[in-house]
């Protein structure tokens, strides 16, 4: 029976500061320090929000190494090592294990997709190669394939597979998953607008885009829930709903990059096919940030 957890509360799916020359490592260090100083519970490096899919292999490994060194063991660190190429995902996973990451976030294969049987075989192969915990990442809106509750049940007994980042948006499916996996897999929300509902389903926390912008407040939301103040947690969920919606008004991480640039943490620079946020959407985003007290 698995009762351990990688983190409880909020893990920020951290942006990767980029410019025309490449990765802006001084800004990345600044971000790691700020997030830890704000009380974040864990960091995810090189996930979707970190633009892992457009980093070169050398950059991906160096961002992982640099971020881990910057965190210096102060919080759990989670490496985005998923790919639609299982062999490459295994290579990245082995590398992240070797340098000392606490866990891996492994997304379902995008574009080539997979059957549920294929998902079981892929996740098992990656987990077999890992010496650290694996978080399965389900985000069908981006990958075109969803992990079914029965598939989680087939994977839950693997000793390295410990958790789920669930971003399917379907609370009924999440309840079904929770009923099937019990305490063998921890469930983390992958959607910032569903933190409280998923915590109410027994969730352990959230892997968050919102917490790039308001880390302390996102942690407070989870802490209120865990302390039994469900109403207080829900008030914060509602308070940050407009900002959350603005952060997803274009494809992630376009809006959060605009937000973090406005806060001085990076340039508003993304790699194609992503492009900077449209002016009309950006105006709404910046106003939402001001409305909740973020200085821009």
Burial 96-109 (b: 16+ CB within 10 A, else e): bbeeebbbbbbbbb
Closest Cα partner for 202 from 166, 244, 238?
Answer: 166
Neighbouring-strand partners of residue 188: 165, 205
Q: How far apart are CA 224 and CA 246, in angstroms?
A: 24
- Local structure of 133: helix, strand or coil: strand
Among candidate residues 27, 132, 165, 184, the one labeled active-site is: 165
Cβ(236)–Cβ(227) under 8 Å? no
For residue 115, give both structure tokens: 């059957």
Cβ(285)–Cβ(255) under 8 Å? yes
Q: Is 282 a catalytic residue?
A: no
Burial 32-44 (b: 16+ CB within 10 A, else e): beebbebebbbbb
- Residue 14 half-sphere exposure, CB side, CA atoms within 13 Å? 32
Q: Is 88 a catalytic residue?
A: no
Cβ(145)–Cβ(170) under 8 Å? no
DSSP string, 167-225: -S--HHHHHHHHHHHTTSSEEEES-GGGHHHHHHTT--EEEESGGGT-HHHHHHHHHHH
Burial 268-291 (b: 16+ CB within 10 A, else e): eebeeebeebeeeebebbbebbee
Among candidate residues 2, 132, 137, 240, the one labeled active-site is: 137
Residues belonging to the active site:
137, 165
């Amino acid at each position: 029976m698995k009762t351990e957890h990688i983190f409880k509360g909020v893990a920020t799916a951290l942006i990767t500061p980029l410019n025309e020359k490449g990765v802006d490592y001084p800004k990345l260090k600044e971000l790691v320090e700020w997030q830890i100083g704000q009380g974040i519970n864990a960091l995810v490096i090189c996930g979707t929000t970190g633009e892992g899919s457009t980093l070169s292999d050398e950059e991906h490994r160096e961002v992982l190494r640099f971020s881990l060194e910057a965190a210096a063991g102060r919080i759990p660190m989670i490496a985005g090592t998923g790919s639609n190429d299982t062999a490459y995902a295994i290579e990245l996973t082995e590398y992240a294990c070797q340098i000392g990451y606490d866990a891996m976030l492994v997304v379902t294969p995008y574009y080539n997709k997979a059957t549920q049987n294929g998902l079981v075989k892929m996740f098992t192969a990656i987990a077999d190669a890992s010496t650290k915990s694996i978080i399965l990442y389900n985000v069908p809106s981006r990958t075109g394939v969803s992990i079914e509750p029965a598939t989680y049940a087939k994977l839950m007994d693997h000793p390295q597979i410990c958790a789920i980042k669930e971003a399917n948006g379907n609370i009924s499916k999440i309840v079904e998953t929770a009923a099937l996996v019990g305490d063998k897999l921890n469930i983390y929300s992958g959607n910032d607008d569903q933190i409280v509902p998923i915590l109410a389903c027994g969730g352990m926390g959230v892997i968050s885009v919102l917490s790039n912008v308001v880390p302390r407040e996102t942690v407070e939301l989870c802490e209120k829930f865990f302390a039994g103040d469900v109403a207080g947690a829900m008030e914060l969920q509602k308070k940050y709903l407009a900002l959350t919606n603005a952060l997803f008004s274009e494809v992630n991480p376009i809006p959060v990059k605009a937000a973090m640039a406005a806060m001085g943490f990076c340039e508003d620079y993304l790699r194609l096919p992503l492009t900077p946020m449209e002016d009309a959407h950006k105006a709404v985003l910046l106003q939402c940030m001001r409305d909740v007290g973020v200085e821009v």
